[in-house]
Amino acid sequence: MKQMDGDRDILGDIKMKHIFFVITFASIYDRVLPLMEEKKDKGEIIVVAATDQIEMFFKNYTDFKVIRIKVHPNLITRKTKHRILSNIIRSKFEFRELFKDIEKSEVYFCNMGFAVVMYSYIKKLSRRNKVIFYGHWGKMSEKAVIKYPVEHSMRAFAMRWIAKWMMGVETIIHRKLGIPIWGLDQKFFENIDILENYIGDKKLLDKYMKKLDVLKGKKILIAINDAVTSGFIEKTEFISKMDNLMDILDDIAPGEYIIKPHPRLNKLYGKMSECNEIIPPYIPLEFILRHDWKKIIGIDSGSLVSSIKYTDAEVISLIDVVEYRDGELKKMLRDHLEKNSQNKIKFLKEIEELKQILK
């Protein structure tokens, strides 16, 4: 057996590096970790994290090396439009600082939207490394790679021009709730290997299923996200309905419930913000679903679909209880929940229905 010394074995061969760009928290359980588990015995695993919560997860749950990029992965936000030029310049320096010596390695990614800075790093790495995409390739359309409508406007033209000529990334601009977002054009994938229909072995993840002391005695999981910041629901409406939910829980099931915030949209409002029974946002919901939950309650979170797949709990959505700013968006989210749960999610019409269910 070869003995390893740093990045080289006794024969002098460079130890293979497997670099994973992790852009969304939701991809960790289904795609990222299973592939890391398959690759970790074949070389060093390096995680490039797009967000603080992704970084915290890998530092708390794994021994992998973690790199947290400092330039905003989306290049700009609504609050930082004036920084676009400085962010472009900073990204050039950051790439050289983090990746200039990376060659003959394998680079993996599984997302196709938003993070144009990270895609620019991936594109540059493809010149001297093997880059592998292992996302849902089979679900892509002929040209665009994400589901939101394509935007044709001067704003979209400017964004595509910046991505192409300043960042080296071929994009299509999509529109989500009136906000333009980056999406990868098929041209981006011309020199990238496609790992089609990748399905990770979830059994490899058993060791990550931590038993948390905070879950003792808990029977009801509240999976909630900040629908106010996302722009889905007005703040007053959200607080009103969530306070009603908390009142019912405190009346019928005190001490039996716990709140799981979304890893990114994790701000809590009203009475929820005063609750001490909270699971850290950086813990993926899938890693606590082996707990003996009786009820799992949410609004439109995709975690409700995961709950149907991985638990025997009664899964409840409050999407019909809450008034959305955009009725079409609400219908799209509800249809998604129904379809992907095989109609197994229970949709309440009134919050008061929860009283009878909990009793």
Instruction: Tell me the pLDDT tens digit for each residue of 177-225.
Output: 677 888 999 899 988 999 888 887 877 777 777 667 788 889 999 999 8
Average pLDDT over residues 262-283: 87
In the predicted structure, residue 281 carries a pLDDT above the cut 70? yes
Report the phi/psi class of residue 296: left, alpha or beta, with left for phi > 0 and alpha for psi in -120 to 50. beta
Average pLDDT over residues 18-46: 92
Same domain, 49 and 192: yes
Domain interval for residue 84 = 4-207
pLDDT band, residue 137 (cuts 50/70/90): low
* Last residue of one domain, picked from the residues 207, 242, 277: 207
Report the phi/psi class of residue 199: left, alpha or beta, with left for phi > 0 and alpha for psi in -120 to 50. beta
Sign of CA dihedral 155, 78, 49, 223: negative
Same domain, 216 and 199: no
Secondary structure of residue 245 in the 3-state scheme: helix
pLDDT band, residue 79 (cuts 50/70/90): low
Q: What percent of the chain has pLDDT over 90?
A: 53
Same domain, 192 and 268: no
Nearest to 353 by CA among 297, 294, 293, 292: 297
Same domain, 130 and 234: no
The CATH number of whichever domain residue 153 belongs to comes to 3.40.50
In the predicted structure, residue 295 carries a pLDDT above the cut 90? yes
pLDDT band, residue 14 (cuts 50/70/90): low
How many whole angstroms separate alpha carbon 270 and alpha carbon 89?
41
* Last residue of one domain, picked from the residues 175, 207, 239: 207
Same domain, 182 and 81: yes
Rounded to 5 degrees, what angle do the CA atoms 332, 346, 236 make?
65
b/e map 6-26, b = 16+ CB within 10 Å: eeeeeeeeeeebbbbbbbbbb
Cβ pair 25, 110 in contact under 8 A: no
In the predicted structure, residue 5 carries a pLDDT above the cut 60? no
The number of CA neighbours under 13 Å toward the Cβ of 86 is 6
Average pLDDT over residues 67-87: 83
Same domain, 200 and 297: no
* Last residue of one domain, picked from the residues 207, 240, 268: 207
The CATH number of whichever domain residue 278 belongs to comes to 3.40.50.850
pLDDT band, residue 4 (cuts 50/70/90): very low
Same domain, 192 and 328: no
- The residue to which tokens 């990222």 are assigned: 32
| pLDDT at res. 12 | 38
N-term to C-term CA, the chain: 61
Tens digit of each residue's pLDDT (9 = 90 or more) over 86-125:
999 999 999 999 998 999 999 999 999 889 999 999 999 9
Helix ranges (DSSP H) in 149-263: 154-167, 235-252
Least confident interval from 4-18, 79-93, 262-276 = 4-18
Same domain, 76 and 194: yes
Same domain, 61 and 194: yes
Secondary structure of residue 90 in the 3-state scheme: helix
Helix ranges (DSSP H) in 253-342: 303-310, 327-340
Same domain, 65 and 189: yes
Average pLDDT, the chain: 86
Helix ranges (DSSP H) in 100-258: 116-125, 154-167, 235-252
Tokens coding 270: 């009203």
Total tally of structural domains belonging to the chain: 2
Q: How far is CA 248 from CA 22, 297, 359, in A?
A: 38, 13, 11
In the predicted structure, residue 10 carries a pLDDT above the cut 80? no
b/e map 234-272, b = 16+ CB within 10 Å: eeebbbbbbebbbebbeebbeeebbbbbbbbbbebbbbb
Secondary structure of residue 156 in the 3-state scheme: helix
Nearest to 74 by CA among 150, 183, 154: 183
| pLDDT at res. 132 | 96
Q: What percent of the chain has pLDDT over 70?
A: 91
- In degrees rounded to 5, what are phi and psi of residue 52? -65, -40
Same domain, 199 and 223: no
In the predicted structure, residue 141 carries a pLDDT above the cut 90? no
Sign of CA dihedral 234, 237, 243, 248: negative
Same domain, 33 and 171: yes
How many whole angstroms separate alpha carbon 161 and alpha carbon 80?
19
In the predicted structure, residue 300 carries a pLDDT above the cut 80? yes
In the predicted structure, residue 81 carries a pLDDT above the cut 70? no
pLDDT band, residue 277 (cuts 50/70/90): confident
Secondary structure of residue 331 in the 3-state scheme: helix
pLDDT band, residue 11 (cuts 50/70/90): very low
- In degrees rounded to 5, what are phi and psi of residue 138? -65, -15
